[in-house]
Structure 1
């Protein structure tokens, strides 16, 4: 239940080698936005060193 969550900033981390983690992060962002409309959200892709396993492309490339 994210309605009781109180934070100044939210950092969401997903794996660039796992498309499901990216989609789950997108769902969490929407839920956070509903309960915390003014809280900044930072989206971080990890495992970027695993180029051959990448499932999520970087923006602008």
Structure 2
């Protein structure tokens, strides 16, 4: 039972999330040979004020 956690910055549409989980599930089914109903995906939307890169918060860029 593969469990995938995806952490990303908030702001992606529901349509984009639906497409992403569909494609990730397909990749896992293909590469691991498990049934799609055994794949679990957890999406964690992160506030831009809680993410930084190169010493700058994403909300400040």
Scaled by the length of structure 1, what TM-score is found? 0.42
- The structure with the largest helix share of the pair is 2
Of the two, which has the highest radius of gyration? Answer: 2
